[in-house]
């Protein structure tokens, strides 16, 4: 049996390029700054924290809302709903990106 490439979200793909397109479009395990893919979300967050001096989603949510769950609930997202979780990821990514941009624009 041929093993199909799959994403941590559970979807399987016919070839690696389809998996990468999915990861890019959903921002799954994909670093926009480096155009690199990672096997697991934790690996991406470690990479972003170490190389790009930015918060992981979990750390950012904890800093502002006390926990990721509190962040999700503050936006009216249902706990355990994967679509709501992905939307939370997009919101957190945009917030983190905006903070990083503001840091770059500040005079030293």
Together in a domain, 30 and 66: no
6 part of a folded domain? no
How many CA atoms, within 13 angstroms, populate the side-chain half-sphere of residue 78? Answer: 4
Q: Tell me what pLDDT residue 53 has.
A: 64
Structural domain containing residue 104? 55-108
| Domain-located, residue 84 | yes
pTM above the 0.85 mark? no
**Residue 67 and residue 100 share a domain:** yes
DSSP 28-95: SSEETTTTEE-SSHHHHHHHHHHHH----HHHHHHHHHSSHHHHHHHTTPPTT-HHHHHHHHHHHHHH
Q: pLDDT per position in the chain (108 positions), as tens? A: 556 667 667 778 788 888 778 776 666 677 777 788 787 777 887 887 777 766 678 888 988 999 999 999 999 999 788 899 999 999 998 998 888 777 777 665
**What is the predicted pLDDT for the residue at 46?**
81
Q: Are residues 60 and 108 in the same domain?
A: yes
């Amino acid at each position: 049996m041929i093993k199909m490439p799959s994403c941590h979200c559970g979807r399987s793909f016919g070839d690696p390029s389809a998996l990468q397109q999915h990861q890019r479009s959903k921002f799954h395990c994909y670093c926009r700054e480096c155009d690199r893919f990672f096997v697991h979300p934790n690996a991406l967050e470690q990479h972003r924290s170490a190389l790009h001096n930015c918060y992981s989603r979990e750390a950012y949510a904890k800093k502002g809302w006390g926990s990721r769950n509190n962040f999700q609930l503050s936006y009216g997202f249902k706990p355990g709903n994967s679509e709501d979780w992905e939307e939370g990821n997009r919101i957190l990514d945009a917030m983190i990106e905006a903070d990083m941009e503001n840091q770059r624009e500040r005079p030293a």
